[in-house]
């Protein structure tokens, strides 16, 4: 019953509209706001990377397993997008050679991972929502976060510890996002499935926010002098670009 002529039917537009509110919520979590202000505790940044490592490992494993599925094949860009190896390199930089023995899955990360694995098995079309939420975000706000993190934690300009934000296979984030949107729109999906994907994307944002909440709690247990640097000035200006 799509009687509303203003209601978008392109999946990319449905996703943008359907996650607008939850995107604003995510941007306004304390963890994210602190991050944008350059108030980044290295310990929390590292734990955030650990959460991302487990999340992307699950997501990319399920994408790999379902790469020939007709609802996903057009969105399979392992060379351009996949982040697992970049995250592994960052974790090795932060924790050392034996990083794998030092990191653990947090409860909120575990719930996110289990959801990804479950839909990878039972409803692979919904993986579109998870890929959209993370990769499109990384190609958007992620580029701001890279600069803020590098300055705040005084990481080397050569990019160690920041591989996650660096997409070597993508020359123009803007052009790639356009390609990705058109690929999403070309998927042959009925309106019910598209609606399910939008709902799943909202859920994906919520999983991310639960991880931010966990990090905020850990932050409360850290001393103030764990703050690695003074707030970065000028970070906001860069968001315009």
153 DSSP assignment: T
11, 14, 23, 227: which one contacts ligand HEM (CB under 6 A)? 23
Query: Would residue 222 be called left, alpha or beta, if left means φ above 0 and alpha means ψ between -120 and 50 degrees?
Result: beta
93 binds ligand HEM (CB under 6 A): no
Residue closest to ligand HEM (Cβ): 141
Whole-angstrom distance, CA of residue 240 vs CA of residue 168: 23
As measured in angstroms, the least distance from the Cβ of 162 to ligand HEM is 15
Residue 98 DSSP SS3: coil
Measure the CA dihedral 235/45/163/62, to 10°: -120
Q: How many residues does the chain have?
A: 241
141 binds ligand HEM (CB under 6 A): yes
- By the 8 A CB rule, do 226 and 40 touch? no
129 binds ligand HEM (CB under 6 A): no
As measured in angstroms, the least distance from the Cβ of 57 to ligand HEM is 16
As measured in angstroms, the least distance from the Cβ of 98 to ligand HEM is 29
136, 149, 187, 211: which one contacts ligand HEM (CB under 6 A)? 136
- By the 8 A CB rule, do 196 and 10 touch? no
Nearer to ligand HEM, 99 or 108 (CB): 108
Pick the closest to residue 70 from 128, 6, 152 (CA basis). 128
53, 93, 99, 132: which one contacts ligand HEM (CB under 6 A)? 132
Binding site for ligand HEM (CB under 6 A): 15-16, 23, 26-27, 32, 36, 132-133, 136-137, 140-141, 144-145, 177, 205, 208, 239
């Amino acid at each position: 019953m799509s009687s509303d002529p203003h209601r978008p039917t392109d999946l990319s537009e449905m996703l943008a509209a359907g996650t607008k509110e939850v995107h604003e919520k995510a941007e306004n979590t304390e963890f994210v706001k602190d991050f944008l202000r350059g108030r980044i505790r290295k310990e929390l940044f590292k734990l955030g990377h650990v959460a991302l490592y487990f999340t992307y490992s699950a997501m990319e494993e399920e994408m790999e397993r379902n790469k020939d599925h007709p609802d996903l094949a057009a969105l399979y860009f392992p060379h351009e997008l996949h982040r697992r190896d970049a995250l592994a390199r960052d974790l090795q930089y932060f924790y050392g050679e034996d990083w794998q023995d030092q990191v653990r899955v947090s409860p909120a990360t575990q719930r996110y991972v289990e959801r990804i694995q479950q839909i990878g098995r039972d409803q692979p079309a919904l993986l579109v929502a998870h890929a959209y939420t993370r990769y499109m975000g990384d190609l958007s706000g992620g580029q701001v976060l890279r600069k803020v993190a590098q300055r705040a934690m005084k990481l080397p300009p050569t990019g160690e510890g920041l591989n996650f934000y660096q997409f070597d296979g993508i020359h123009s984030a803007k052009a790639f996002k356009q390609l990705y949107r058109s690929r999403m729109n070309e998927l042959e999906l009925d309106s019910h499935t598209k609606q399910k994907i939008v709902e799943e994307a909202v859920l994906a944002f919520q999983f991310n926010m639960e991880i931010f909440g966990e990090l905020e709690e850990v932050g409360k247990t850290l001393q103030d002098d764990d703050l690695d640097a003074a707030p970065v000035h000028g970070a906001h200006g860069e968001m315009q670009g």
